[in-house]
Structure 1
């Protein structure tokens, strides 16, 4: 791990356990560097304006300012395992990495007793591996970044008949459909909104072209012209 990655990881580590303390020795062991290196890293973060404070003394350590973290959250083992199961069933889906990051933060924030109970419960859950998928691993993250950045994407798309076409599309939304994940996008080739299965996208490149703000209505056509009904994620 290079220094830049380690600095980001240190902040996330301290944020996950705040307001509890991490000692320099614990952090040094975790990141396989010297205590002196951790002290220099913490100093650099403090100079950059990150609100890390040091509690001196035999039981002291470093912590992120309490105002920069959430109060203790009383997630139950069942709630955390439910999220873990959902993540396992969503391998290769958009936002998978963000979901796993959230799960790690939840595990770090709960008590040791609840963490043990959560791991024991998770050990009683089994999932069957799905058949081998042909999805290109990088595609979901490229589409995810394009939606967040508001940029069009140039894709190579394989239709259900095995024909490949090059298209420039403007991602509008992500869709969890009966055959996996899709993107709802404005297709420049067809001049209308279409759905594209992520596992049929063979190549994807984010462009510098900003997308036009378009409304996704309750129905959409897939890349083969079939009409599909949409619903929103409930939050």
Structure 2
């Protein structure tokens, strides 16, 4: 059995055992390999971020929380290649680092044969590998604060090069004309403002929650624009 297939089999056995756990000896007997090989594999799984932990003593073994792992994924190689292509051509999207990490986790959960087929197929899809600006720390802070609705202190440089510090109440992240913006209520100007993300040089998320909802003050978006998913109305 190839190592990649063996690691897949060990992951599945650990998932099935769940909170009951299983011993290294059980895994070795199931796969027909040595205890040393199983322990080396388990160290590799832990190092890759797979949520497995060891417990010593009577009743001990290796345990994994089924709720923290993905069940067997039934994706085709074409679907995986398409996801990689989409991330590459999407450009400067919010949460890009998290998207790439999620894709890596998804691919790690695939059967070894599909994972290998998708890797082989990527040489048949060409994308522009030109310079891509790394996500700045300030941008990551703004993205996090918007998602969790936290008042944020930013340093913003306008088109004339003037730098100002201001506290803002994030509303949404919006993409238009090739640029990502933070739409927020600006306490300095006491008005809604569009802040180009690449002009925010510093950002600090406070612990103060955003209570203001001022999206209507930005006007109606174009008919071709809108949220990734419409908000679900809560009926009381």
TM-score bucket of the superposed structures, by smaller chain? 0.5 to 0.7
CA distance in 1 between counterparts of 2:111 and 2:39 reads 21
Q: Is the aligned partner of 1:166 residue 2:165? A: yes
Q: Counterparts of 1:82 and 1:139 in 2: how far apart (Å)?
A: 30
1:42 aligned onto 2:54: yes
Q: Which residue of 2 aligns with 1:220?
A: 218
Aligned to 2:140: 141
- Return the alpha-carbon distance in structure 1 between the equivalents of residues 171 and 71 of structure 2: 35
Shift in alpha-carbon separation, 1:164–1:132, aligned structure 2, 3 A: farther
Checking the alignment, whether the CA contact within 8 Å between 1:169 and 1:188 is kept in structure 2 is yes
Is the 1:81–1:118 Cα contact (8 Å) retained in structure 2? yes
Q: Give the match's secondary structure for 1:183.
A: strand
Cα distance in 1, alignment partners of residues 207 and 110 from structure 2? 42
Bigger radius of gyration among the two? 2
TM-score, normalization by structure 1: 0.67
The answer to which of 124-133 and 137-146 deviates more is 124-133
Q: Measure, in 2, the Cα distance between the counterparts of 1:228 and 1:147.
A: 19
Whole-angstrom CA distance in 1 between matches of 2:148 and 2:67? 29
* Shift in CA distance, 187/211, structure 1 to aligned 2, threshold 3 Å: same
- In structure 2, the residue matched to 1:150 is 149
Deviation at 1:94, TM superposition (A): 2.2
In structure 2, the partner of 1:72 is 72
CA deviation profile, 1:109-147 (whole Å, cap 9, x unmatched): 1111111111112222232245565x7611221112212
TM-score normalised by the chain length of structure 2: 0.66
**Correspondence for 1:231:** 226
Residues 97 and 205 (structure 1 numbering): CA distance in 2 closer, same or farther, change over 3 Å?
A: same
Residues 73 and 95 of structure 1: is their aligned pair in 2 closer, same or farther, counting only changes over 3 Å?
Answer: same
Gap change, CA 1:42 and 1:147, over 3 Å in 2: farther
For residue 42 of structure 2, the aligned residue among 22, 27, 30 is 27
Instruction: Kindly state the Cα deviation for residue 19 of structure 1 after the two structures are TM-superposed.
Output: 4.6
Deviation of the 1:105 alpha carbon: 1.8
- Give, in angstroms, the shift of residue 188 of structure 1: 1.1
Q: What is the CA distance between 1:211 and its match in structure 2?
A: 1.1
Q: CA deviation at 1:195?
A: 1.8
Q: Paired residue for 1:107?
A: 107
Counterpart Cα distance in 1 of 2:130 and 2:187? 34
CA distance in 2, matches of 1:154, 1:69: 36
Shift of 1:204: 1.0
Contact 1:19 1:65 (C-alpha < 8 Å) held by counterparts: no
* Counterpart secondary structure, 1:189: coil
SS of residue in 1 equivalent to 2:218: strand
DSSP-derived class of the 1:173 partner: strand
- Residues 84-123 of structure 1, C-alpha deviation per residue, up to 9 Å, x if partnerless? 2232234653222221222112111111111111111222
CA shift in 2, pair 1:18/1:173, >3 Å? farther
